[in-house]
Amino acid sequence: MAEDTRNLNIEPEEIEAGKTMAFVAYLVFFIPFLMEDMRKNKFVMFHTEQSIILLILNLIAGILGVITCGIGMILYVPYLIFLIMGIMNALGGKVVPLPLIGQFGEKLNLVK
């Protein structure tokens, strides 16, 4: 499993306050950006980064599915697995990047 190279120093209170919104970020990634207090929550922004990377994977799967007449739809299987893993991490209060794709979330630099 990939390790997060950043030292995020997220407080337990911040995790508890952000669990619900971290879950929501996996369903609709931009909702946390609409709430000022959630934009400052490192836990929520970490999971928002992960959800944006998942969205990119979803878009790639869709494009490849159209180009290859459906063969690219195979990428939806890992997408669904990663989505479930991300939701479980968010609800469990874990700050663990998703396997294989999670390290790309760090490049978005949403956690300040």
Residues 62-86 have pLDDT tens digits of: 888 888 887 777 888 899 999 999 9
Q: Assess contact for 1 and 96: CB atoms under 8 A.
A: yes
Supply the pTM of this predicted model: 0.88
Of residues 77, 75, 97, the one with CA closest to residue 86: 97
Residues 5-56 have pLDDT tens digits of: 567 889 999 999 999 999 999 999 999 999 999 999 999 999 999 999 999 9
Show the tokens assigned to 60.
Answer: 């790639």
